[in-house]
């Protein structure tokens, strides 16, 4: 990522009144969202977003500030605001910070067909095809919603310990939701496709197939019997079980809670 500001000056300034550690996070992203509803394209939203966050750690206290004005003067202003939060400090000698160059991009290097290289009208056409598959599958289909989202994210992190990390992240996801009804019964089918990938994702998992799966699921539910009530054994998939353990146990084991004496463990 090309930056138009002095990273060294910002990190030196934020630590001038003390503190053990500081880091600077910079992000630029290019999101795109397409939504087809009621048999027509309702939304095509695109743009560019950017921002920077600066963090200072002193003792057990963390101070953080952010801005979307990524210039040296703006970031130095953030640094001044943060270093004043180091209570009872006087100005120290300016710390020497040597940044260790840049690490190669990670996730982005595995993308074969970056979504941003494809014209928006091709993505709109793909969304329309998925909508048509679901709409024309069965007369019991009443509503179809097809959503496509992408985000190309560039990230840079520079730390007071001298490290600089860069990464390019390509998020791609699409979803088909189908509502079917028959004899007063209404059911919904849903199928997502997504990953940290480019348009090659849809070579392996075409959105039209997702539309067919969502439609079949909604139609199948129209004749599904009601689930029995009562206590019974439950088998959890690895994904669902991992999420439940994370929420029920994992948060209580987080280091900041443990360090502050707030962990239930």
Decide if 238 is inside a domain: no
Decide if 15 is inside a domain: yes
Total domains, the chain: 1
Query: Which tens digits make up the pLDDT trace of 186-218?
Result: 999 999 999 999 999 999 899 999 999 999 999
Decide if 254 is inside a domain: no
Four-point Cα dihedral 121, 125, 128, 132, nearest 10: 160
173 pLDDT higher than 90: yes
Decide if 91 is inside a domain: yes
- The pLDDT-based confidence of 92 (bands split at 50, 70, 90) is low
DSSP per residue, the chain: ----S-HHHHHHHHTTT--SEEEEEEEEEEEEEEEEETTEEEEEEE--EEEEEEEEEETTEEEEEEES--SHHHHHHHHHHHHTTSTT--PPPPPP------PPP-GGGG-SS-GGGS-HHHHHHHHHHHHHHHHTT-TTEEEEEEEEEEEEEEEEEEETTS-EEEEEEEEEEEEEEEEEEETTEEEEEEEEEEEE--TTHHHHS-HHHHHHHHHHHHHHHHTPPPPPPS-------HHHHHHHHHHHTGGGG-HHHHHTT----
Query: Which tens digits make up the pLDDT trace of 93-117?
Result: 555 666 666 555 554 567 889 999 9
User: What's the CA gap between 49 and 153, in Å, rounded?
Assistant: 9
User: What's the CA gap between 230 and 205, in Å, rounded?
Assistant: 38
Decide if 240 is inside a domain: no
**Domain CATH number, residue 185:** 3.30.2290.10
* 181 φ/ψ angles, rounded to the nearest 5 degrees: -145, 150
Decide if 143 is inside a domain: yes
User: What's the CA gap between 142 and 4, in Å, rounded?
Assistant: 52
- The pLDDT-based confidence of 91 (bands split at 50, 70, 90) is low
User: What's the CA gap between 115 and 203, in Å, rounded?
Assistant: 13
pLDDT at 98: 62
Pick the range with the lowest mean pLDDT from 39-53, 93-107, 122-136, 215-229. Answer: 93-107
Provide, rounded to the nearest whole percent, the portion of the chain with pLDDT above 70. Answer: 91
Decide if 24 is inside a domain: yes
User: What's the CA gap between 208 and 260, in Å, rounded?
Assistant: 51
235 pLDDT higher than 70: yes
Decide if 51 is inside a domain: yes
Provide, rounded to the nearest whole percent, the portion of the chain with pLDDT above 90. Answer: 63
Query: Which tens digits make up the pLDDT trace of 45-62?
Result: 999 999 999 999 988 888
Per the structure, the complete domain to which residue 208 belongs is given by 7-225
């Amino acid at each position: 990522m090309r930056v138009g500001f002095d990273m060294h000056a910002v990190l030196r300034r934020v630590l001038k009144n003390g503190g053990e550690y500081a880091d600077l996070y910079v992000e630029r992203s290019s999101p795109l969202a397409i939504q087809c509803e009621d048999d027509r394209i309702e939304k095509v939203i695109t743009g560019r977003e950017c921002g920077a966050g600066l963090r200072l750690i002193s003792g057990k206290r963390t101070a953080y500030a952010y801005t979307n004005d990524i210039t040296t003067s703006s970031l130095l202003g953030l640094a001044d605001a943060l270093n004043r939060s180091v209570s009872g400090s006087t100005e120290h000698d300016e710390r020497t910070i040597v940044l260790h160059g840049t690490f190669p991009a990670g996730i982005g290097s595995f993308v074969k067909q970056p979504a941003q290289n494809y014209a928006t009208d091709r993505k709109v056409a793909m969304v329309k095809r998925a909508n048509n598959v679901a709409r024309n599958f069965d007369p019991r289909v009443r509503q179809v919603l097809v959503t496509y989202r992408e985000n190309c994210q560039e990230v840079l992190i520079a730390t007071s310990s001298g490290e600089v990390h860069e990464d390019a992240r390509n998020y791609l996801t699409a979803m088909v939701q189908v509502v079917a009804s028959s004899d007063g019964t209404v059911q919904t089918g849903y199928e997502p496709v997504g990953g940290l990938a480019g348009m090659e994702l849809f070579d392996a998992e075409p959105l039209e197939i997702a539309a067919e799966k969502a439609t079949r699921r909604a139609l199948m539910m129209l004749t599904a019997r009601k689930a029995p009530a009562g206590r019974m054994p439950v088998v959890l998939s690895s994904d669902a079980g991992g999420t439940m353990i994370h929420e029920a146990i994992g948060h209580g084991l987080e280091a900041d809670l443990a360090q502050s004496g707030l962990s239930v463990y």
